[in-house]
Amino acid sequence: MSDEIHDQAVMTFEVLKAAVRDGVAARLGKLALAGRKTVIDTPNFFAGTSRGVVPHITPDNVSKHLHAGGAYMALEDFIERPQQYYTRKPPIFDTPTPLPPGKPLHSFTAMPPSITTVLAARRIPAVPAPMGNSNNSISIFTSVGFQVLTTKEYHNAVEALKPDIAIPLADLTNHSTAPNTKRALRMADRTDQWVKEFFDELDTQDVLNPSKISTFAPILPIDYSIQWEYIERLAEDLFPHLAGLAVYDLDVLPDIADKYANLLTLPRLSLSAPATPHHILRQIGLGIDLFTIPFINTVSDSGLALTFTFPSPSSQLEPADAQPNGTGTSLKPLGMDLSCPSNQISLAPLLENCTCYACTNHHKAYIHHLLNAREMLGWTLLQIHNHAVISQFFASIRETLSLGQEAFEAAVEKFTLTYEPDFPAGTGEKPRARGYHYKSGAGEGKRNKPGWSKLGGDETPAAEKENGNPADVAPVTVAADVNA
């Protein structure tokens, strides 16, 4: 992301400034990826993708307007087997690779070469599968339904697609509730076995290094006491093969720090879906270097523009911020609902001093209009802005960290005292649910009300007949309604 360096054969991570205290704490680092000209300054984040795209953002806008360190992709988004073509090889495996050379995942998704790709089996958050996992496979959720992915298939996919960072399979339940001890023990056993197999089948010298694939080993969301054998293997036998840790739950980190200091030298990627910037700060305080942040996409879909800055602005609220936030507290909101009619004629940017494309070329009134008219560009501009706010958030965090641990902690405390704990609810209609991955509990109704209908109750969709019907976002999707 920052200064250019020369290509290098393997990934390196350099900790520039770490806590001197015992255990794990916030730190400043530089991640230089194998075969890449750019380095990622940490703490930082990877943008979430759906089917290989950052939702609503075309690849040209990703390179021009999205300042993310990389993109997290899920194999389950690429390997569906539609009933009529059940035996076909997923097309992604035949991708030619013009640029960057030898990186099919990049080429298939048209990700700009500057973007680092992370490949895991499942999206974050993943839809829990009714049938669970087996000793040599996991359940994944594709656009045509649940499907089995064997460890062997996953390893072949990693070898074929050559992501910059691969996360070996972990045995996860993907439920919000913690697994019982018996299930947790099996999770540890299987993951231990699978990670070992990963390196057996994908030899570091013969396959991973020449393909410029770095491996981040999963750390399970279960007690250290249950997965200690697995972690010991990572720290001892497998350590030379590891480039980082993919942490599904942070609670284990202090134990790891206690027992296996060598693992502390690896960059840690959080896959725990932090719910708010407060959670991100807390996780940075616990030693996380890299994040995937699913809330950016959901916040944009809700019509919210992120409005927080770090460190928080000086104590007295500016007049523009002094409006009641609806919760009766004096805390500032983390985001602003652009569907709110108060934005109707505001020519102000989404966030004062934001340098993103949306804020420098457009204003609140336009985004409000686009949301109100259900024009897709509204969500595109919010995505660009919200990613920019997060990018700036991390840049400021790094700057504060460079001043030392105390400066960081003071700024975190101030941030906590300044901002609301949660995002406001968005009142606008969300984009037409883009299908299957919105699957949730049975019996949930359609996410949005049906669109604008004609006077006189004509049943024929006007979009089929005449110029621009206001409700005309129709063709982009089908599957959501199937789940309803």
Pull the structure tokens for residue 229. Answer: 């054998």
Site for other proteins in 8-47 (CB under 8 A): none
Tell me: does residue 377 bind other proteins (CB under 8 A).
yes
Tell me: does residue 163 bind other proteins (CB under 8 A).
no
Phi, psi of 431 (to 5 degrees): -60, 155
What is the sign of the dihedral through the CA atoms of 283, 288, 289 and 292? negative
Nearest to 125 by CA among 176, 183, 63: 176
Tell me: does residue 354 bind Zn ion (CB under 5 A).
yes
Tell me: does residue 380 bind other proteins (CB under 8 A).
yes
Tell me: does residue 96 bind other proteins (CB under 8 A).
yes
End-to-end CA separation in angstroms for the chain: 42
- The residue range among 92-100, 170-178, 201-209, 421-429 that interacts with other proteins, by the rule CB under 8 A, is 92-100
Tell me: does residue 458 bind other proteins (CB under 8 A).
yes
Please identify, using beta-carbon distances, which residue of 111 and 412 lies nearer to other proteins. Answer: 111
Please identify, using beta-carbon distances, which residue of 110 and 479 lies nearer to Zn ion. Answer: 110
Please identify, using beta-carbon distances, which residue of 115 and 350 lies nearer to Zn ion. Answer: 350
Please identify, using beta-carbon distances, which residue of 140 and 350 lies nearer to Zn ion. Answer: 350
Nearest to 109 by CA among 65, 62, 64, 45: 62
Tell me: does residue 390 bind other proteins (CB under 8 A).
no
The site for other proteins, by CB under 8 A, has a size of 71
Minimum CB separation of residue 392 from Zn ion in Å reads 9
Tell me: does residue 6 bind other proteins (CB under 8 A).
no
Please identify, using beta-carbon distances, which residue of 143 and 209 lies nearer to other proteins. Answer: 143
Site for other proteins in 357-376 (CB under 8 A): 357, 361-363, 365-366, 368-370, 372-373, 375-376
359 assigned ligand-binding residue: yes
Please identify, using beta-carbon distances, which residue of 275 and 365 lies nearer to other proteins. Answer: 365
Taking the C-alpha atoms of residue 49 and residue 57, their distance in angstroms, rounded to an integer, is 10
Among 5, 16, 85, 145, which residue sits at the site for other proteins (rule: CB under 8 A)? 85
| DSSP conformation letters of 210-243 | TTT-EEEEEE-SS-HHHHHHHHHHHHTTSGGG-S
Taking the C-alpha atoms of residue 197 and residue 151, their distance in angstroms, rounded to an integer, is 8
- The residue range among 91-99, 146-154, 156-164, 274-282 that interacts with other proteins, by the rule CB under 8 A, is 91-99
Tell me: does residue 381 bind Zn ion (CB under 5 A).
no
At residue 68's C-alpha, the angle toward residues 338 and 377, to 5°, is: 35
385 assigned ligand-binding residue: yes
Minimum CB separation of residue 174 from other proteins in Å reads 22
Taking the C-alpha atoms of residue 36 and residue 85, their distance in angstroms, rounded to an integer, is 37
Which of other proteins, Zn ion, none binds 385 (CB below 5-8 Å, type-dependent)?
Zn ion
Tell me: does residue 430 bind other proteins (CB under 8 A).
no
Q: Do residues 242 and 165 touch, judged by C-beta distance below 8 A?
A: no
Tell me: does residue 78 bind other proteins (CB under 8 A).
yes
Q: Do residues 69 and 36 touch, judged by C-beta distance below 8 A?
A: no
Q: Do residues 396 and 390 touch, judged by C-beta distance below 8 A?
A: no
Among 190, 368, 385, 432, which residue sits at the site for Zn ion (rule: CB under 5 A)? 385
Site for other proteins in 465-484 (CB under 8 A): 465-470, 472, 474-479
Taking the C-alpha atoms of residue 336 and residue 51, their distance in angstroms, rounded to an integer, is 28
The site for Zn ion, by CB under 5 A, has a size of 6
Phi, psi of 87 (to 5 degrees): -95, -5
Which of other proteins, Zn ion, none binds 356 (CB below 5-8 Å, type-dependent)?
Zn ion
Pull the structure tokens for residue 23. Answer: 């255990």
| Cβ density class 413-443: b for 16+ within 10 Å, e for less | ebbeebbbeebbebebbbbbbbbbbbbeeee
Taking the C-alpha atoms of residue 171 and residue 186, their distance in angstroms, rounded to an integer, is 8
Tell me: does residue 356 bind Zn ion (CB under 5 A).
yes
Task: Spell out the residues 6+ positions from residue 298 whose beta carbon is closer than 8 angstroms to its own.
Answer: none
| Sheet with 27-32, side-by-side order of all strands | 12-18, 27-32, 39-42
Name the β-bridge partners of 291.
Answer: 45, 270
| DSSP state letter for 208 | I
Please identify, using beta-carbon distances, which residue of 347 and 482 lies nearer to Zn ion. Answer: 347
Q: Rounded to the nearest 10 degrees, what angle do helices 377-402 and 364-372 cross at?
A: 130
Minimum CB separation of residue 162 from other proteins in Å reads 16
Each residue 110-129 as x (binds other proteins by CB under 8 A) or -, in order, gives x-------------------
Tell me: does residue 324 bind other proteins (CB under 8 A).
no
Which of Zn ion, other proteins, none binds 359 (CB below 5-8 Å, type-dependent)?
Zn ion
Among 130, 441, 443, 456, which residue sits at the site for other proteins (rule: CB under 8 A)? 456
Tell me: does residue 146 bind other proteins (CB under 8 A).
no
340 assigned ligand-binding residue: no
Tell me: does residue 71 bind Zn ion (CB under 5 A).
no
Pull the structure tokens for residue 404. Answer: 């030392």
Minimum CB separation of residue 73 from other proteins in Å reads 12
Q: Report the interface residues with Zn ion, using CB under 5 A.
A: 350, 354, 356, 358-359, 385
Instruction: Please give the annotated binding residues, written as ranges.
Output: 354, 356, 359, 385
Instruction: Please give the annotated binding residues for Zn(2+), written as ranges.
Output: 354, 356, 359, 385
